[in-house]
Amino acid sequence: MPLFRRDQPQAASPPPPPQLPDNTDSPFLNVLSRELNAVLPKEKIVEIRSQLTATREAAPEQDRLRAFLALDWLTHAWLGRWCAVLARDEQFAAALPSLPPIRDLHTAGQTGDLVHILRHNEITAADHLAQNYRDDNFYDMATVSAARQASSSAPAKAAGSAFADAAASTLLDECLAARADRALSAVRTLSFMYCLDEVWKHMTTWAAGPGSFDVKKLNINNLAPAAAWYALQPVTGQLLDDAARLYLDLHRMR
């Protein structure tokens, strides 16, 4: 029998991750909090939580106002930032500020008309893909796959989906009139095109490096998605900071 028995340490349950409150009286804030919890870094959530004050009972009018502000930010600031940073549709980014802020179905429709124009990028992307990337070429397909993977989650990881859903939970018709869903898919397309170019820069280096093709394949399959996501990080980082600030503002609204 051992003289000194070492007690078996009890397995401590990990502390629950910090969360933004999603059980308030505001359905809007609940949806937004729930979705931001999935995309914001823990330290950012902690920082936000430290600044939150107790919410009072939410009035429907207040939630509507919050939803309008969220929709306006999504279609003007968020979408505009993507267009400007990804250096595509500069004209669209320049035209956005001239639109009136979204305050009703009519102004939402005006924004939606402009957002709808971005649909041409989908055709452009498809053409670009068909002309420049061959299905039977590994390097081409690895680039496309990485770009698609990164761009597919870009709207959500940049908090766009969170604000879109939060706004739609209160103002669905206005969100659809402003084509918030198309704003998300437009960013997906723009970031896909951007990622293609960014990943291909590395792909040529990887392809020319030493080693067998199998090794190269293994490395590329690991490195390409990371490179794609890394390319988008400057934008998503900025937008998450903006989203955090806006969340606080919306939360503080009385």
Partner 1 sequence: MELTDNPDGLAAVVTARNLALHRKLGAERHRLRQLSEADAHVRDELGSGVLSSETAAALRLAQLPTSRLSSSLQREIQAGRWSLDDTRRTTSPSPELSAAFSETSAMWQQALATATAALDSSASETALLLDEHEHDFTRMTGGEQQVMSSFALPHKTYVGAARTGKSTAVPRWLGLLEVLPEKPWGRLPWTDLSDRNLVFLPDEQNLYYWDAVSAVQSIVADQMSRSAPNGLKITWVDGMHQGQSAGVFLRLAENGPRVLDGQVWTEPSSIEAALRRVANRVGQIQQSCLKDELPDLDSYNDRPGVPVEAHHVVVVTGYPHGFQQASATLLQQISEQSYRTGVSVLVVMHPMMASIAPTAGSAVSYYATMEDGAIPKSAPEWCTFSVLPRGEPVVGRAGQPHARVFPHEENVAVWMPYSPRNLEKADQEAILLGYVRASAQLVATGLSPRELAVRNLDPEERTTALRKAMLMWLHEQSGRADGPRWEEFLTSDAVHVTGTTFTADEIGRQAKYFHEQGLVFGAPGSESPMPVLTPTGEDLSMRKDVNAADFAALSGTRPGDTYNTIFRDSVTVSQVTVGRDNTVTQHQHAAAGFEELATAMRHVSELLPRIGLSAPDAEDAAEHVSDVIAETTAAEPDPGRIRRALRGLRTFLQPVADQAVSGVGEGAHELAKEALGHLQQFVS
- Give the interface with partner 1 as residue ranges (CB under 8 A): 27, 30-31, 34, 112, 116, 152-153, 155-156, 160-161, 164-165, 168-170, 172-173, 175-182, 184-185, 188
Choice between 46 and 126, CB closer to partner 1: 126
Choice between 31 and 220, CB closer to partner 1: 31
Closest CB 62 distance from partner 1, rounded Å: 16
Choice between 147 and 203, CB closer to partner 1: 147
Closest CB 169 distance from partner 1, rounded Å: 4
Choice between 45 and 168, CB closer to partner 1: 168
Closest CB 7 distance from partner 1, rounded Å: 43
Q: Kindly report the CA angle at 50 between 49 and 54, in degrees rounded to 5?
A: 70
Choice between 89 and 165, CB closer to partner 1: 165
DSSP string, the chain: --SSPPPPPP-PPPPPPP-----SS-HHHHHHHHHHHHHS-HHHHHHHHHH-----PPPHHHHHHHHHHHHHIIIIIIHHHHHHHTTS-HHHHHHGGGSPPP-SHHHHHHHHHHHHHTTHHHHHHHHHHHHH--TT-HHHHHHHHHHHHHHHHHHHHTTHHHHHHHHHHH-HHHHHHTTHHHHHHHHHHHHHHHHHHHHHHHHHHHHHSSS-HHHHHHHHHHHHHHHHHHHHHHHHHHHHHHHHHHHHHHHH--
Choice between 206 and 229, CB closer to partner 1: 229
Closest CB 174 distance from partner 1, rounded Å: 10
Closest CB 57 distance from partner 1, rounded Å: 17
Closest CB 35 distance from partner 1, rounded Å: 8
